[in-house]
Amino acid sequence: MHSTFAVIDLGYGRVSTRDQNPDAQRDRLTAAGCDRVYVDTISGTLSSRPEFDKVLDTLRAGDVLVFTKLDRLGRSVKMLKQIADRVQGTGAGLRALDQNIDTTTPEGRLFLHILAAFAEWERDLISARTLDGLEAARARGRSGGRKRKLKVYQVERARQMYEQTSADGKRTYTVQQIADEIGVKRTTLNGYLRTTPPKSTHD
């Protein structure tokens, strides 16, 4: 059992289903002096990493989490920053073999500050691109979101059918019948009926 007073190196590797053999990473981590090595086999996303969760639960102050390269931990600056913060929060360090990064050294700690700056830059860049896209959409007469599926006359026709009633006050057409007539899904039509006001009779 891992003693809270022992300082150890824990290795972590990740392989995809296209590269099932983890031996290369395992061998490198063992050669680097890791006392234990954990390996996840990931299919598609990084949403579930049971072995990585075990590593994080095992880490204690003074331990070092070792991996071959940065993309074994995360595929975005934001994810790497979150992981680095969590590891540092336990008092442990990070070491990437390929990039020669070791957060137990002053140079490695500088890397964390750079990583944080890039994470903020990445977040601001995404935000700026989103705003630019919305501005461009407004300039073209759109308010954002998906392109309208119905033209104005189609919406008006749908509303006319929706508001048409028989002598006893019952609606002549169901929403599904109107949607079939217009050629859209019922959920799409409902959205237009809820958000598009009736055309004024005084126009």
Q: List all residues 6 or more positions away from 141 whose beta carbon is below 8 Å from its beta carbon.
A: none
Contact at 8 Å (CB) between 24 and 49? no
Contact at 8 Å (CB) between 34 and 72? no
- DSSP 8-state class, residue 171: B
Task: Compute, in degrees rounded to 10, the torsion defined by CA atoms 87, 64, 19, 78.
Answer: 30
The 3-state DSSP composition of the chain as helix, strand, coil percent (nearest 5) reads 50, 15, 40
The reply to whether 16 belongs to the active site is: yes
H or E stretch covering 64:
strand 64-67
From the candidates 16, 48, 76, 127, give the one annotated as an active-site residue: 16
- DSSP 8-state class, residue 34: -
Catalytic residues: 16
